[in-house]
Amino acid sequence: MVRGHPHRGAGPGVAVTHASYWVELFQSQQRLGGGFLLTRRYVLTALHCLRGLTSPDEHVDVVLTDGS
């Protein structure tokens, strides 16, 4: 996994070391949306980004962005 830059929009008083990473979500090369990487396993995203999935077991690629 390639490390991206910390997301700067975490809000006031949040140290850079505690900021989440912004990620893009893809399935079959189609962008579903974005979200914040919380851990190596969990991403916080909006429901509408995953609404088209038909099964909770469907594969979604998570790509770290470079922050630019």
pLDDT, one tens digit per residue, over 1-28 is: 334 444 444 445 545 455 568 899 999 9
DSSP element (H, E) containing 48: helix 47-50
- Using DSSP's 3-state secondary structure scheme, residue 10 falls into coil
* 31-42 residue pLDDT tens: 999 999 888 888
Burial class of residue 26 in the structure, from the number of CB atoms within 10 Å of its CB (0-12 exposed, 13-18 middle, 19+ buried): middle
pTM of the model: 0.65
Which of 55, 62, 3, 13 minimizes the C-alpha distance to 36? 62
